[in-house]
A = this chain, B = another copy of it.
Amino acid sequence: MRTLITALFWGCLVSLSWAAEPLASWHEGTTKAAIVKFVERVCEANSAEFVPPSERIAVFDNDGTLWCEQPMYVQLAFALDRVKAMAADHPEWKSEEPFKSVLNDDFAGIAAAGKAGLLKIIAVTHAGMTNDQFESLATQWLATAKHPRFKRSYTECVYQPMLELLDYLRANHFKTYIVSGGGIEMIRVFSSETYGIPPEQVVGSSIKLVYERRDGQPALVRQPEVDFIDDKEGKPVGIQKFIGRRPVIAVGNSDGDFEMLEYTTSGQGPRLGIILHHTDAEREYAYDRSSHFGRLDKALTEAKQRNWLIVDMQVDWDSVFPR
């Protein structure tokens, strides 16, 4: 009896594995093989490099790693659209920078306003409201906005091979996290549905929140003040703050991920660093050392000596976006 049940049980499992071939959109080559080999090394119970499930943490950058970051960060597109949507209530913006440039689609003007200009844009579009109100605005925008080149929603401009990598890692009992320079609350509104990553597994940049009463109800109100920048040397800090463990796998695509990759792969025991190299101008974009968004320079130069795995989008991916 027991044998029969065991057979049925394993039969079930085997059918499941067949049903969902892991990493189906990855080309059968050395990159895919290296990923699979690493996961097998740390997950096989009798492996010398076995990592217990509780310690299997995998962190993924978002912009340019899980979804498209060209021709500009999605969150910047959201902020610019919000300025336009709010402009009717702010006639003074017609002559006030950086808003004037935003309303005129003058990107050189926006760039000229620099960091101070960007903070002004963030202050009016991301603060001065409750967190729930911000969530609604971001959700509504994501439901309707389209990528200018691909003419599909931004949440459909995610990378199919990365969705499969997330699934594959979770099937192997990894806990998957986003560790992004982008705003944490913006990512949370779509990460569950799009990536299968719940809000509590999103680490990102944030502005200050204050707990106060609004219309007689307690609310978290967003302040026009930066709380935490989860980028570059902020990424290992964010990982420790939010996760409290050094990851086993880190996946990024730009120099903003350098410290996260360095911190992850300098830990003892088996560690894997992965860099997505955007090499596919036809299906997506080709950019690295001189890109304004997602510059990949130092991390690309040092990848080999640090044993980081480089994913060549054009070569390694059979498809880029979900069909």
Q: Is A144 an interface residue (CB 8 A)?
A: no
**Which residues of B lie under 8 Å from residue A202 when comparing CB positions?**
244
Closest B residue to A263 using CB positions: B218
Query: CB-CB < 8 A to A192: which residues of B?
Result: 54
Which residue of chain B lies nearest to A234 when distances are taken between CB atoms in the complex? B211
Count identical subunits in the complex: 2
Q: Are B218 and A262 in contact (CB under 8 A)?
A: yes
A236 to B243, CA, bound (A): 19
A298 vs B234: C-alpha distance when bound (angstroms):
38
Judge whether A245 and B5 touch: CB under 8 Å: no
Produce 1/0 per residue, A214-230, CB < 8 A to B. Answer: 00011010000000000
From A185, A210, A211, A234, name the one whose CB has the most chain B CB atoms within 10 angstroms: A211
Given A54-B192, A259-B211, A200 and B220 touching (CB < 8 A)?
Answer: no
Residues of B near A237 (CB, < 8 A) are 209-211, 220
Within 8 A of B (CB), among A181-233: 184-185, 188, 192, 198-200, 202, 206, 209-212, 217-218, 220, 233
A131: nearest residue on chain B (CB-CB)?
B240
Q: Which of B57, B199, B240, B262 contacts A245 (CB 8 A)?
A: B199
- 8 smallest beta-carbon distances between A and B, as pairs: A199-B244, A211-B233, A211-B236, A200-B243, A209-B237, A188-B244, A220-B240, A218-B263
